Each structure stands twice: as C-alpha cells, then as structure tokens.
Amino acid sequence: MSTKIVLAIDSLKGCLTSTEAGMAAAQGVRKACPTCETIVFPVADGGEGLLEALINATKGTWVRLQAHGPLMEMRNTCYGLSEDGKTAFIEMARISGLPLVPEGQRSPLITTTYGTGELIKDALKRGCRRILIGLGGSATNDAGMGLLQALGYQFTDNNGQEVGLGGQALTRVEHIDAAQVMPEVKEALFTAACDVRNPFYGPEGAACIFAPQKGADREQVRTLDKGLRHFSRIIRKYTGKDVQLLPGSGAAGGMGGGLYALLQADLRPGIELILEATGFLSKIQGADFVITGEGKSDRQTLMGKVPAGVLKVARQMNIPVALLAGQVEDAGLLLQAGFKCVHCINPPGTPLPLALHPEFARAQLARTAECLIRQYFPAS
C-alpha cells in the first residue's frame, strides 16, 4: 500500500497561489518518494485564493462581468457559481480589494464596497439563493455600507439626504431604509468567510488595526473608528443587534458586522468554511501525512489561519501535520499546538525580494518537502 501525502498550503501572497505552492511541494515529495500518492488540495482562509479553491472543489464555473471598484471606477471582475448554480462564491477583494487602488490614492475614507454588492446583485438575479462571501484583502472601511447600498438599502441623515459612499459617511447615518431592497435578498442565505476575529470598533477594531494598512493616517483612523462606533448604534437602533460583541465583525473594514446585522449573515472562520465546503475531512482519509503552509507562520497562525484549520481537521483522524513557511516565528508555540514539525523553507538571511520570487519559492518548497519526506519516510 503506497504512502499517501496530502498537501494543503495557503497562497504565498504576492508570490504563489495555493495550487502553485501545493504543486511545488508535491514535486519534492515525489522526488523523495516516487511511489507516494500525492493530493494537492487548494485552500484559503477567506481572502486570496478562496474563489479558486471553491470553484475547483465544487466543479463550479466562472461568471465574468463589470462592476465598480473601490474608487467607483468600472472594472472587469468575476465570481463563481457552484455546479448546480444555486450557490455564488464571491471574493470581495476581486472588486473591492486593496491592490486595486494605486498607493497614492488609498484612503478608506472614500473607498467603497459597492462593487461587491453588485456581484451579489448579479448572482441573486441569476437565481442563486446561497451567497458565500470571502472578506479578506479589502481596501475599505465602510462597514459594508456600499455593498448594502448596491442591494437597495438607503442610509440617510437627519434631513433625509443619502449620506454617500465610503467610511467618511458612517458618522452621518441616522436612518436605515430597506424599502427599496431587492426582494431576492430576503430569500437568500448569506455566509461570510473571515480570517480575523476583531471587533467592530475600538483599539482592536476594524479602523485602529487595519485602516493604516489601507492608507489612513492617525486622524483618519480616529474618524473612521468614531464612524464605526456611531454606525453600530444606528444598527442597534434599527435591528436590535449589537455588532460589537460579534467576533469577526471588524473583518473587511467592518463588513462582517454590516452583513451580520442587515443580511443576517453567518460569520464563519474562512478556513473552517472552506474545508467543510470542499469535503477536506473525507479527502484526507487514509493519509499518512499532511503538509500545510503559508507565507509567514507565527502565533497569529493559531488564530484561524489556514494551517490551524488544516491541523484541527487532521488531528481528528490522528494524521500528523507538517508546517512549512517562508518565515517562522514562535516555533515553540506552533509545536505545542500540535504540528509534528515546523520548517522555514528559506535559508537564514534570505532577502525578501528573493524569497518572494516565484521560481525561488517553488524551488525552496520542493527542497524542504523532499527533505521532510526523506526524514519521516526513509524507506519509501
């Protein structure tokens, strides 16, 4: 009976996709053990790679269309449909993501999630009644207000005037009107995949932790945090829901909280949702070893990242899991969490530009995986 190795490695952001990383490591596995059965399993935690993972796993199809980007410019974009056409897979970063905004124009005061709402609207019109949304990689801090506006929600001030778009509008919202919301919204089930557990506002909230990465200075961060705090009060007034208490409500600039309150979305750790939707548990049955990985592994890995999710499922079946990463910190904590071993794929002192070069990363993944298999399966 041949040795079975499953490779479920997250994308190395800015370098390799999940599939590319898995294929590179599989090459090393096969070099060490030509008779091994290798299974490459694309994974993601809610951000980059979510779409490919779900479409591949469900034998789905791509839908290509135009929608508004973070600065309300028209862009070509896409989302996925399950094989039966009833579920839409939407990666919000594809149309509302930070890489779509030139560095000199990044400002979460004005960027909007409107385009993500347009993708949902298109999917609903096609008959989808289950919408799965990946919340990672956003350029925004509008609490999902733009998305909701695209579906027909109206957010007005005390004079009955619509407040506009972007995080700057949050402090002006006094009323929420759902009269013009497309009827299909009430028929749909929404699930949001998020890779963070941050609250809506406050020191650990969406604005304070993530807005600086999106171009906000200190004063703008304060403005955005104040806006989220105010918006949460309006949400509570109109829905009775306290989004601040919900882990993940601060994901994607507060989109997690907005979707939970107004679309009754279920917020799930992205990797758990992906592994469940793609049948990972059944795929690893009979495996002798699982290799997972990511760009950088540290204590945050254990807070809902891909390797932690893979480890959780594999341990249910007593399958050892190796962790490979471009950078490694807190190795002791990772080993205590249950990983069989933790390896940095790069030699000490490797310059970051070299580490991020795709061909170099492929070679290092293959080399490390080869050494790993030779160590644990020497007779294979």
Mean pLDDT on 191-210: 92
Is the alpha carbon torsion for 213, 218, 223, 229 positive or negative? positive
Cβ neighbours of residue 84 closer than 8 Å, sequence gap 6 or more: none
How do residues 331-361 score in pLDDT, each as one tens digit? 999 999 999 999 999 999 999 999 999 999 9
Nearest to 325 by CA among 307, 350, 299: 307
Please tell me the least confidently modeled range out of 49-53, 60-64, 122-126, 169-173.
49-53
Q: What integer is the mean pLDDT of 295-324?
A: 92
pLDDT score for 151: 98
Which is higher by pLDDT, 41 or 183? 183
Position with higher pLDDT, 221 vs 302? 221
Which residue pairs, CB below 8 angstroms and at least 24 apart, start in 12-17? 12/294, 12/295, 12/326, 12/356, 12/361, 13/48, 13/295, 14/356, 15/295, 15/326, 15/355, 15/356, 15/357, 15/358, 15/361, 16/358, 16/361, 16/362, 16/365, 17/42, 17/48, 17/49, 17/52
pLDDT at 244 over 80: yes
pLDDT value for 46: 64
Q: Quick check: 81 and 73 in contact, CB under 8 A?
A: no
pLDDT the model gives residue 48: 66
What are the φ/ψ torsions at residue 278 (nearest 5 degrees)? -100, 5
Are 320 and 340 in contact by the 8 Å Cβ rule? The answer is yes
Helix, strand, or coil (residue 275): helix
- The conformation of residue 162, written as its DSSP 8-state character, comes to B
Q: Determine phi and psi for 245, rounding to 5 degrees.
A: -80, -5
pLDDT at residue 344, as a whole number: 97
Give the per-residue pLDDT at 257: 98
Q: 94 pLDDT band (50/70/90 cuts)?
A: very high
Q: Give me 24's structure tokens.
A: 């590179």
According to the model, what pLDDT value does residue 366 have? 98
SS3 letters across 12-36: ECCCECHHHHHHHHHHHHHHHCCCC
Chain length of the chain: 380
The answer to whether 26 touches 38, Cβ cutoff 8 Å, is yes
CA 371 to chain centre: 31
**What percent of the chain has a predicted confidence (pLDDT) above 90?**
83
pLDDT digits (tens, 9 = 90+) for 19-51: 899 999 999 999 999 999 999 988 877 666 778
- 288, two tokens: 């002798």
Does the domain formed by 4-41+279-376 have CATH 3.40.50.720?
Answer: no
Q: Per-domain residue ranges for the chain?
A: 4-41+279-376, 50-271
| CATH topology classification for 50-271 | Glycerate kinase, domain 2 (3.90.1510)
**What is the average pLDDT score of the chain?**
94
Q: CB neighbours (10 Å) of residue 29?
A: 26
| pTM score, whole prediction | 0.83
